[in-house]
């Protein structure tokens, strides 16, 4: 069974202070685990496991007003992070700097229509859509603006999807955010540029709250667009291929702002998980030479280098075909994915390791 996380905004009137207090209690448990593990490390060179920490924190939930499962969830998360980053000491959770976080497991909460009951208190949330299945676990989380959300991790039955038989290569860019190999273009306005003036004046006036509000707005708009675009793509196409575009090089150029505004990474992550959920084939391929290669004759005759980024259309010098830069790249990306599949089917046709394996 697949799992999906659903997020709902809690109503502001619904026990914010209570949650903040619970959040502080969670911080205490986290910091206690942190200290104890560091102490243990100092003379035994050994990390404390979640099992050890469970024993050390047993019964503390009652004192702090937390459900015992919450204490366990915090400790589990702590132990997991410690193992993952291989560190004996993790960051300190402070009242001022850390955003509130109260995890829970299914037994600790009761969910009904638009309310969730935790630790004897009922919190109300804006119920925007029904949950697909049983709640497994979840958390209450605060954002930078002091708003609280509840996350439910639920069992998620695979939705039905009718195959369309369409394939698309996707070229991620700056001007049009995504150009498909069949000529469809997906774009939105540059949000950084749109809010630039407002943001700058708020920053100059040192209005901190306004600054966080603007940042949150930009983030939400970007996310909203990404969701709509990726849903459309996964509904319309059976095969989606994306180039492994890397923003790190472009971030050093004049286009840095546009690159970070584009948010390619988020777009790809969303596309990948939605594709998995719906059974759509999603592939990321090496996109080097996809812009300079002519899709008609495979000659590398296109515009090269960062300077040529302004060139939107070009004519191939060897076969004379006129290309739209992005669409040509998208076609090449789709083609290279097909090549990879073909190479797997007929390994003998290609030089390299595959040939050796065939002998």
For Zn ion, the binding residues (CB under 5 A) are 294, 296-297, 299, 316, 319
Shortest Å distance, C-beta 332 to Zn ion: 12
Please, is 209 exposed, middle or buried when counting C-beta atoms within 10 Å of its C-beta (0-12, 13-18, 19+)?
A: exposed
Q: Which is nearer to Zn ion, 292 or 294 (CB)?
A: 294
Residues 186-189: contacts with CB under 8 Å, at least 24 apart: 186/229, 186/232, 186/233, 188/225
Shortest Å distance, C-beta 286 to Zn ion: 21
Shortest Å distance, C-beta 321 to Zn ion: 5
Shortest Å distance, C-beta 320 to Zn ion: 7
The C-alpha atoms of residue 205 and residue 202 are separated, in whole angstroms, by 5
Q: Which is nearer to Zn ion, 297 or 358 (CB)?
A: 297
Shortest Å distance, C-beta 341 to Zn ion: 24
Q: Which is nearer to Zn ion, 177 or 316 (CB)?
A: 316
Q: Which is nearer to Zn ion, 294 or 337 (CB)?
A: 294
Q: Which is nearer to Zn ion, 297 or 308 (CB)?
A: 297
Q: Which residues partner with 149 through β-bridges? A: 9, 141
Q: How far is CA 77 from CA 30, 51, 71, 93, 117, in A?
A: 9, 12, 10, 13, 23
Q: Which is nearer to Zn ion, 81 or 297 (CB)?
A: 297
Per DSSP, the chain holds a count of helices (H) and strands (E) of: 11, 14
Residues 297-300: contacts with CB under 8 Å, at least 24 apart: 297/321
Shortest Å distance, C-beta 300 to Zn ion: 10
Task: Output DSSP code: residue 142.
Answer: E
């Amino acid at each position: 069974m697949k799992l999906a996380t659903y997020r709902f905004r809690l109503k502001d009137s619904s026990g914010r202070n209570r949650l903040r207090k619970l959040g502080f209690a969670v911080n205490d448990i986290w910091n206690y685990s942190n200290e104890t593990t560091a102490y243990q490390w100092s003379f035994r060179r050994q990390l404390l496991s979640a099992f050890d920490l469970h024993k050390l924190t047993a019964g503390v939930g009652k004192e702090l007003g937390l459900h015992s499962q919450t204490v366990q969830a915090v400790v589990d998360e702590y132990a997991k992070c410690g193992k993952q980053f291989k560190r004996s000491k993790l960051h300190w959770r402070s009242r001022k700097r850390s955003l509130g976080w109260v995890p829970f497991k299914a037994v600790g909460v009761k969910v009904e229509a638009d309310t969730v009951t935790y630790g004897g208190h009922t919190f109300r949330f804006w119920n925007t859509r029904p949950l697909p299945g049983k709640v497994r676990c979840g958390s209450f989380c605060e954002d930078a603006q002091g708003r609280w959300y509840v996350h439910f991790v639920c069992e998620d039955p695979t939705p039905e999807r009718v195959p369309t038989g369409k394939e698309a290569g996707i070229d991620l860019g700056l001007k049009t955010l995504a150009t498909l190999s069949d000529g469809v273009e997906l774009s939105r306005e540059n949000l950084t540029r749109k809010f630039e003036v407002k943001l700058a004046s708020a920053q100059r006036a040192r209005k901190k709250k306004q600054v966080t509000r603007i940042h949150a707005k930009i983030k939400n708009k970007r996310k909203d667009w990404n969701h709509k675009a990726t849903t459309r793509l996964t509904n319309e196409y059976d095969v989606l291929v994306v180039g492994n575009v890397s923003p790190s090089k472009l971030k050093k150029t004049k286009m840095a702002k546009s690159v970070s505004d584009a948010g390619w990474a988020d777009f790809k992550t969303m596309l990948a998980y939605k594709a998995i959920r719906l059974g759509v084939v999603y592939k990321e391929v090496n996109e080097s030479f996809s812009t300079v290669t002519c899709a008609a004759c495979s000659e590398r005759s296109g515009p090269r280098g960062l300077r040529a980024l302004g060139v939107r259309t070009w004519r191939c010098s060897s076969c004379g075909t006129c290309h739209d830069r992005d669409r040509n790249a998208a076609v090449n990306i789709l083609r290279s994915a097909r090549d990879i599949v073909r190479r797997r089917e007929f390994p003998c046709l290609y030089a390299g390791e595959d040939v050796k394996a065939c002998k």
